[in-house]
Structure 1
Amino acid sequence: MKRILFALALWFAMSYAASANTPRGRWTEAQAWTYMRSQPWPLGSNFLPSNAINQLEMFQADTFDPAEIDREFGWAESAGMTTMRIFLHDLLWQQDAEGLKKRLDTVLTLSAKHHIKPVLVLFDSCWDPAPKLGPQHPPIPGIHNSGWVQSPGIALADESNRPRFEAYVKGIVGAFASDNRILAWDVWNEPDNPGGGKYKNNLKHKTALMDAMLPMVFSWARSQGPIQPLTSGVWTREDWSNPKEWSKTEKIQLTESDIISFHDYSWPERFESRIEQLEKLHRPLLCTEYMARGTGSTIDNDIPIAMAHHVGMINWGLVQGKMGTYIPWDSWDVPYANREPTVWFHDLYYPDGKPYREHEIEILQKASKTMQSDAAR
């Protein structure tokens, strides 16, 4: 009953925006809480189908595989998951805007079939800075995330590209601004990440370039009047409790986001400490990346803490596949080409749908059932 009342309040508050894509500002704290309380507790994974190496291979027409996506969403649903975090890419819009919209609509139809509302990511500063359309290279054996590509990557350095970035953001957000199958828009993943891996062509002054464009991305997205919240997750700082110590990037993220998102791959004590720091901002919290078993970030440790604080949780990796994120980060220094890691780093399922650890799936199922039952009271 409580959830129904919140949903009705949200509908009345945003009905005009839903019908007309009316530009809007940042949500108030009350608007953010009203929206998130009307949703199922966010529990999910960062998603890439196991037969894709990156976001381009997932969505390009020649390699788009709705049957595989449907199958893997089914495993997520069986684990009690209610969301998936899915990465888009600006080059997909440049290549085939109408095709991207149609394929994304197919993904949203499949996710709704499985009672999953995705978080959609627009830009990303991680891994290969020189993305290219067309066939993607095969995985490099034994390397963590050997084919993931940045968006926009090195194209960020050329200000003449901004009109096409603007067209992409306004086009994709505008097309789905009133779509209640979407939980949220994550406008830029780890914007101040230097890149990662062993790539030699990462931009100099990348963070400064990104800091100039990030507020524009928020503005472009808001100009389309989305009924879903916008966010961009903070990730590096040990302590976010003092706004005077925030970097320029963090200040943009934490003052522009409708809901606050963050990443944490550390021990549970640090995870809970970061939650407590961000709770001082008085907005709903969503952890959009966690679970790196070798660093102490585990489902066993983190889910009980998240439940106690009502924090949404999205772990990295659903199914072991071409992305190779069951392999640790240190594989970039010492590849695991002829050996399996002693413990999987990320990911929850083998490609045949068998859980890596049955107990983890049981924890997720129980947590989801408990949180949904509590919300319904």
Structure 2
Amino acid sequence: MKNRFLLLAALLLATLSYSQDAPGRWSAQKANAWYAKQPFLVGANYAPANAINELEMFQADSFDPKTIDKELAMAESIGMNTMRVFLHDLLWNDSAGFTKRLDQFLTLCAKHKIRPMLVLFDSCWDPNPKLGKQHDPVPGIHNSGWLQSPGADALTDKSQYPRLKAYVKGVVGAFKNDKRILAWDVWNEPDNTNDNSYGKNNKKLEPANKVALVTALLPQVFQWAREAGPSQPLTCGVWIYKSPEKWKDPAKWSAMEKIQFENSDIITFHQYSTPKALEDVIPALKSFGRPVICTEYMARGADSKFQTHLPIAKKYKVGMINWGFVAGKTQTFLPWDSWQKPYVNGRKPTIWFHEVFKQDGSPVDPAEIAAIKQATGK
């Protein structure tokens, strides 16, 4: 009996050592109380059609409230109530101007009854961001101008980390009590090395130790954001799909996943896969006892669709934010394989990969609009 007790105690201690709340993390009770006040969250990852990336969306010379207003009205018309919107550390070079424009954007969101989730950093796509005029879209390629934040230069240069800290604390602090904001997503797909796009195939090489650098920096980013005192929850979503049983076992988490799960007030994830895979993974993520939101889904070519996924999510009250809203300069209506075989010289995708609306404002598929309206009760 004594040996059995000692074994159980050892197993309990081992489990606790794998999974524990980071300092300052919301309690599950607080997170669930916050979520109980939210509607069924439905929205899109949003950039206006005339912005190729985060900088073009928010820089002074290209910020376009008129287009944003028009497109958010389209979102409101189908019942969407949130958007996931990416910021960028380089925008803080003009902190006063950026803060003013972000406030203007939030005012437009509120006008259309939309509360966005704001993303601070992103490990996806071009690792060499630069302020100023952004290049035109590369013909036939999905997300040909999207930018990492921080870029490779800043990520590998620790002397720039105080600048990154100032950005995080500055922007979160400026809007820490703003009820127009739903939540803060501190880092999108932090361990994505872009091997099929800007990585091995295109010679715009990622730092060889990128994952290690981000693994070391991500806890600091959470800490900086918490020091700013936000009233909104913080999160960082897992994106590499694992079997539900593996998600339940902290011993099988990667070092990055451990940081994400133990620091996030609410659990977020990406799911470009089948309806069955979605229904399998939701209970595993909900087993953590916290609200769950899917912050990326809907890739028609991967069998991830509004008609199939929204009813499942609504059954479990899991928020759903698809990739893409109005087709435009991001060209994310093109599939991921466009990086290997660009859709040029008459080559066209058999189906649109992402986006809800075409650039002329017509829906990609009216049946999808009906499914979104049904889910949102519009």
Specify the code of the residue in structure 1 equivalent to 2:360.
D
Select which of 351, 370, 375 maps to 1:343.
351
CA distance in 1, matches of 2:238, 2:144: 24
**1:290-309 to 2 correspondences below 5 Å:** 290-309=297-316
For 1:149-164, list aligned pairs within 5 A.
149-154=147-152, 155-164=154-163
**Is there any run of 5+ residues in structure 1 with no aligned partner, and where?**
1-23, 371-377
Tell me which residue corresponds to 2:212.
208
Alpha-carbon distance in structure 2 between the residues aligned to 1:193 and 1:274: 21
Matching residue's letter, 1:342: T
Is 1:220 paired with 2:224?
yes
What CA distance in whole angstroms lies between the structure 1 residues aligned with 2:71 and 2:48?
7
Question: How many angstroms apart in 1 are the aligned matches of 2:78 and 2:151?
Answer: 34
Q: Which moved more, 1:104-113 or 1:333-342?
A: 333-342
- Counterpart of 1:373 in structure 2 is none
Amino acid at match of 1:232: C
Aligned match for 2:235, one of 231, 237, 260: 231
Q: Partners in 1 of 2:320 and 2:225 — Cα distance?
A: 24
Cα distance in 2 between the residues matched to 1:327 and 1:261: 25
* Displacement after TM superposition at 1:362 (Å): 1.0
CA distance in 1, matches of 2:286, 2:112: 31
Choose from 273, 295, 299 the match for 1:288.
Answer: 295
Matched to 2:97, the amino acid is G
* 2:92 alignment partner AA: W
Measured after TM superposition, the shift of residue 339 of structure 1 is: 3.2
Partner residue of 1:12?
none
Please identify, of 192-201 and 222-231, the stretch whose mean Cα deviation from structure 2 is larger.
Answer: 192-201
SS at match of 2:130: coil
Residue 352 of structure 1 deviates from its aligned partner by 2.1
**Structure 2 residue corresponding to 1:357, chosen from 350, 365, 372:** 365
Equivalent AA in structure 2 for residue 133 of structure 1: L
Equivalent position to 1:121, from 100, 119, 122: 119
In structure 1, distance between residues paired with 2:139 and 2:38: 40
AA at the equivalent of 1:228: Q
Amino acid in the other structure paired with 1:208? A
Distance 1:105 1:229 in 2: 19
SS at match of 1:365: helix
Residue 123 of structure 1 aligns with an amino acid whose one-letter code is: F
Match in the other structure for 2:13: none
Identity score, percent: 57
Specify which of 234, 249, 252 is matched with residue 259 of structure 2. 252
Structure 1 position 40, deviation (Å): 2.1
Aligned AA for 2:310? I
Residue identity opposite 2:43 in structure 1: G
Query: C-alpha distance in 2, partners of 1:309/1:71?
Result: 32
Residues 114-138 of structure 1 show CA distances to partners (whole Å, capped at 9, x for unaligned) of: 0000000000000000101101110
Partner of 2:286: 279
CA distance in 2, matches of 1:42, 1:218: 24
Q: Distance in 1 between matches of 2:151 and 2:268?
A: 22
SS of alignment partner, residue 287 of structure 1: strand
**2:339 alignment partner AA:** W
- How big is the shift at 1:278? 0.5
Any idea what the Cα deviations from partners look like across 1:209-255, whole Å, max 9, x if unmatched?
00111000101001111110000000103121211100010000001
TM-score norm. by structure 1 comes to 0.90
SS at match of 1:111: helix
- 1:366 corresponds in structure 2 to 374
1:243 paired residue among 250, 254, 271: 250
Matches within 5 A, 1:1-377: 25-94=24-93, 96-154=94-152, 155-195=154-194, 196-198=196-198, 199-200=202-203, 201-239=205-243, 240-337=247-344, 338-369=346-377
SS in 2 for 1:39: coil
CA contact (8 A) 2:328 2:359 kept: yes
TM-score by length of 2: 0.90
Please state whether the residue corresponding to 1:364 is helix, strand or coil: helix
- Amino acid of the structure 2 residue aligned with 1:287: C
The AA in structure 2 aligned to 1:231 is T
**Cα pair 2:241 2:271 within 8 Å, conserved:** no
Query: Secondary structure in 1 aligned to 2:63?
Result: coil
Shift of 1:37: 1.3
Partners of 2:40 and 2:314 within 8 A in 1? no
In the alignment, the residues of structure 2 paired with residue 341 and residue 117 of structure 1 have an alpha-carbon distance, to the nearest angstrom, of: 33
1:22-63 deviation digits (Å, cap 9, x = unpaired) = xx8111111001111112221000000000100000000000
1:346 to partner: Cα distance? 0.3
Deviations 1:242-285 (A, max 9, x none): 11100010000001000000001011111111112111101000
Cα distance in 2 for partners of 1:350, 1:270 equals 28
Aligned residue identity for 2:70:
R
- Which residue identity does 2:136 align to in structure 1? P
Residue identity opposite 1:236 in structure 2: I
Q: Superposition RMSD on alpha carbons, in Å?
A: 1.1
